[in-house]
Amino acid sequence: MGTMRLEIAAAMLLAVAAAGVCQSPLTITSSRRGEICLNGSWRFMPAVGPAAQAPVGDWGQIPVPGSWAGGPVPGPIATGKQGPWAAAKLTDVGRVWHETTVLVPVDWQGRTVLLDLSRVSTDAVVYANGVECGRIEWPNGSVDITKAVKAGEPATLRLLVMAVPEGQDVAVYMGVGNDQTWTQPAQLASRGIIGEAFLRSLPAGPRVSDVFVRPSVRQKRLALDVEVSGLKQAGLVGLTARLVNESGKVEQAFDAEKQLAAADTQTVPLEWPRPNPRLWDTDRPDLCALQLATRGAGLDDEYPQVFGFREFWLEGLKFLLNGTEIQLRPVCLWDEWNNAA
C-alpha cells in the first residue's frame, strides 16, 4: 500500500473514532470489489406504531447473528426498560428494529453497494440513512443501497425485522399412534438476523456475477463457467485467470478471448491445461485463490474465487478422491450454537 493510501486509511480511522462509528474490518476481495463483515453487536428495540416510523426510545444490544426470541443462536445482550420495551414481552414481539453504523470506504466511489444477509427470520425492510431501499425475504438476500450512501462517509443501516410464521396452523405427524395427526399454531424457532451480515461493493454496470470452478485431476485441466450479467454491447472480451497461493505468489496465469453477446445474463466456458496442480485432500486441504480479470465490451471487473483442486468420482462400488479410494461414513456434526444462551 502506498503512502497516499496509508494516509487515506488513517484519516478514515480517525473519522470513525471521532464520530463514534463502529467499523468492522474491511476485506479487499479484488481491485473492483470489497466486503465488510457486519457481524457483532447491533442496536435493537421492539417496533411499535406505523411500519415506516423511525424508532423512538432506548436502544438495547443484540448480536448478529442473533435472535430476540428463541432459537439456537445467541439472544439479546441488553434490553431497555421503558417505552416500546414495556408494551409486550420480547418473546411475543413480532417486529424489531435493528441498527448499526458503518463507514463506507473511499475506494468504493462509483461502485454498487449491497447489504447482504445470509439468513433472516423471516423478513427485513432495509433503510440506509433513513431511505427505504428494499426488502429481504426468508431465507436470505441482498438489497442495493447505493442511492442512499456515499463513499468515505458513515452510513446508518436500520432494518425493520419481522418474524412472520408461514401459516396460522401446521400439521403435526407421528403422534403416539402411527395414524395420529393434529394441527397446532405455527411457531418460529428463532426471530431476527440469524445469519451473517455483509456490506459489499461491486462494479456498477456489467460485471461477472458468478464463477463455477471445475477442476479435473484425470484430465489435468482447469475449467471455468463464468457468468456475466448486464452486458449492454456485444464485443471481444479478454479474460485473465491467475492462480494465487496462500503466500500471495502467482502459481500460474491463463489468458483467453471470447466474443460475448449483449445479454442480461450469459455463461462463458473456459478451459486450460493444469498438469501439476497442488491437490486438495482430506489430510492436506490446500486452497488456491482464483483471480479472474475481464476487460472489453464495457466490462471491467475482477472476480475472486477460492477453491481446492480436487476431483471426486465413482468406479463401480468405489468412491475415489483424486484417484484414491476413500471410505465415507456419516458423522454427526456438533452445532456451534448448541450451548448458546
Residue-range definition of the domain harbouring residue 306: 205-310
pLDDT for 257-268, tens place per residue?
999 999 999 999
pLDDT confidence tier of residue 196, bands split at 50, 70 and 90: very high
Residue type, 7: E
> Residue 139 domain-assigned?
yes
- Do 52 and 175 belong together in one domain? yes
Residues 6+ apart with CB under 8 A from 42: 61, 62, 63, 64, 66, 98, 99, 100, 193
Give the pLDDT score at 268: 98
Whether 337 shows a pLDDT value over 90: the answer reads: no
Asked whether 293 and 237 are in contact (CB, 8 A), the reply is no
- Omega before 122 within 30 of 0, i.e. cis: yes
> Residue 130 domain-assigned?
yes
- Do 188 and 210 belong together in one domain? no
Task: Provide the CATH number for the domain around residue 242.
Answer: 2.60.40.10
Task: Provide the CATH number for the domain around residue 121.
Answer: 2.60.120.260
Of 47, 127, 42, nearest in space to 83 by CA:
47
> Residue 6 domain-assigned?
no
147 or 91, which is more confident: 147
- Do 160 and 62 belong together in one domain? yes
- Do 87 and 170 belong together in one domain? yes
The Cα 74–Cα 63 span in angstroms is 7
The Cα 98–Cα 324 span in angstroms is 50
Asked whether 227 and 267 are in contact (CB, 8 A), the reply is yes
Question: How crowded is residue 12: how many other Cβ atoms within 10 Å of its Cβ?
Answer: 19
> Residue 227 domain-assigned?
yes
- Do 130 and 111 belong together in one domain? yes
Whether 94 shows a pLDDT value over 50: the answer reads: yes
Give the pLDDT score at 176: 47
pLDDT for 215-240, tens place per residue?
999 999 999 999 999 999 999 999 99
Asked whether 25 and 36 are in contact (CB, 8 A), the reply is yes
- Do 214 and 248 belong together in one domain? yes
pTM: 0.80
- Do 183 and 89 belong together in one domain? yes
- Do 198 and 133 belong together in one domain? yes
> Residue 330 domain-assigned?
no
